[in-house]
Amino acid sequence: MVFLKRKSVIVALASFVLISILLLISLGNKDDDKVVNAGEVSNMPLVEVKELEPMDLKEVFNTIGFFVPENDWRVTPDTVGTVEKVLVTEGDMVEKDELLFQLENSSQKERVEEAKQELRDARNNLQEAKTEENWSLQSARESLDEAKEYEEEQKQKLEEAKEDYKEGEIDKRELERAEDRYDLAKRRTERAQELVDSIEEDDNKDIQEAFYEEQVKWAERLLERAEKEYEKTYVKAPSGGEILSVRIQKGDTANPITPAIVIVSQGKVHVSTSVSEQYVVKLAEGDSAKVTVPAISDKQVSGTITEVGVMPEDGGRFYPVNIILDESIDNLKVGMNAQIQLTIASESDVLAVPRHAIVTDDDEDMVYVLDEDNLVHLKPVTTGISENGLVHVEGLNEGDKVVVAGISRLEDGTEVEVVKEDK
């Protein structure tokens, strides 16, 4: 009897275990059916939408430039000459009219002394003409001979100057000065001849005085010109500032064309750049700019456009633009590169969508807009300026929900499931 009872218990337990296993399998099968069914039902396109709200946009243009001084002076002598000595070096600070370098000037100094003697002689002759009753014909003829001799000398120097000019040894201004000296010499000869003629006609008192008054004026002009030529051999600073570069040394030939020394101001430096015709029409003086100096830091510094060129540079297609920084930058040097961000358009309180949300059909721009029934509809839009991938659009309303992801499976009237909504 005990054995039968135990057998009955074992059978009962086995039956319970079997039923439990079958029940679990049955429940498992029901859960699998739910997953499959759910996958079959969720067949709508999944999309992300963005609710539109007004915002400000700025369209920018990035370019590069370099720093230049607010003012700079490229110093050249007013005459051709050999450098005798240089009194400054790069980095020196100079004041206005401070001597920078000197040209060899022995010949100019000699001409000054000759002109001074000419003036002394002319004044002495004038004084004698006023005090003497008569002027001897012999003295007048001697003066005429001296004038002719001087004229011939200046004529010869003019011929030499013409040859030197052809060979490129002197500039045009040197040639013109030789021509002026020859013209003055001819006038002197003419006056001396008039004096001789007047004495021979025995009517010489007033003519004599007039002649030597003219001689004094001529000698004064000659001395003035000689002193100017001498002064040109001393080249001075046109303004105060820092010596940026010295391009000459003793023994070099300096000329009025090639800069010998460059001076830069100690005021604000500005950024110089150039832009194409596409962008120059969108810029104006007073517009803001952002400038970065990579050699110093990544910090952006605000600036203001001070000049927009009206003519392209060197006959090209790019127009010069200058920018003054609104604040100073430590360790900034002339010539450093600058990264520039220029604002070429701006708009306030406008609606914008990501560029990738815009679809184009037959050259018409459109976006998908979600309605209350989770249906999307194509709406045409007009595009404007852009910033960081956002494009200004017209044709939509504030609060519209625009599809920004999942567009590839859509067409007008498609029902969708929204998985993400940005505001």
Rounded Cα distance between 36 and 362, Å, is 41
pLDDT at 27: 37
| 355 touches 397 (CB < 8 A) | no
Q: Are residues 250 and 274 in the same domain?
A: no
238 lies in a domain? yes
Dihedral, CA atoms, 131, 137, 138, 139, nearest 10 degrees?
Answer: 30
For 96, 269, 306, 340, 341, the CA distances from 327, given in Å and listed in that order, are 27, 10, 15, 15, 16
Q: What is the mean pLDDT of each run of 10 residues along the chain (423 residues)?
A: 40 46 39 36 83 90 90 91 95 93 92 88 79 64 86 90 85 80 84 77 64 84 91 94 92 94 83 92 92 93 92 85 88 89 89 93 92 93 90 93 92 89 69
Of 117, 81, 122, 307, the closest CA to residue 214 belongs to: 122
For 359, 376, 394, 404, the CA distances from 351, given in Å and listed in that order, are 17, 19, 7, 14
Rounded Cα distance between 403 and 411, Å, is 12
Of 89, 150, 86, 163, the closest CA to residue 122 belongs to: 150
In the three-class reduction of DSSP (H, G, I as helix; E, B as strand; rest coil), residue 275 is classed as strand
213 CB-near residues (< 8 Å, 6+ apart): 126
Q: 337 pairs with which residues across the strands? A: 66
| 248 touches 81 (CB < 8 A) | no
Q: Are residues 220 and 337 in the same domain?
A: no
Return the DSSP state at 336: -
Q: Are residues 192 and 257 in the same domain?
A: no
34 lies in a domain? no
134 lies in a domain? yes
Q: Are residues 382 and 286 in the same domain?
A: no
Q: Are residues 374 and 391 in the same domain?
A: yes
339 lies in a domain? yes
Return the DSSP state at 45: P
Domain carrying residue 406: 46-57+349-422
Of 98, 96, 74, the closest CA to residue 86 belongs to: 98
Q: Are residues 182 and 219 in the same domain?
A: yes
Q: Are residues 278 and 338 in the same domain?
A: yes
Walk across the sheet containing 382-387 and list its strands.
352-354, 390-394, 382-387
Q: Are residues 274 and 312 in the same domain?
A: yes
Of 285, 303, 390, the closest CA to residue 347 belongs to: 390
pLDDT at 7: 42
pLDDT at 330: 84
Rounded Cα distance between 205 and 126, Å, is 11
**362: CATH:** 2.40.420.20
328 lies in a domain? yes
Q: Are residues 110 and 226 in the same domain?
A: yes
Q: Are residues 317 and 203 in the same domain?
A: no
151 lies in a domain? yes
Of 84, 36, 81, 69, the closest CA to residue 242 belongs to: 69
Look at the chain and report how many structural domains it folds into: 4
Q: Are residues 112 and 216 in the same domain?
A: yes
Rounded Cα distance between 36 and 196, Å, is 134
pLDDT at 356: 93
AA identity, residue 348? S
pLDDT at 13: 44
- The residue out of 209, 231, 253 marking a domain boundary is 231
215 lies in a domain? yes
Q: Are residues 240 and 92 in the same domain?
A: yes
409 lies in a domain? yes
**325: CATH:** 2.40.30.170
AA identity, residue 243? I
Rounded Cα distance between 318 and 311, Å, is 8
The interaxial angle of helices 106-131 and 205-231, nearest 10 deg, is: 160
pLDDT at 136: 67
Rounded Cα distance between 319 and 342, Å, is 14
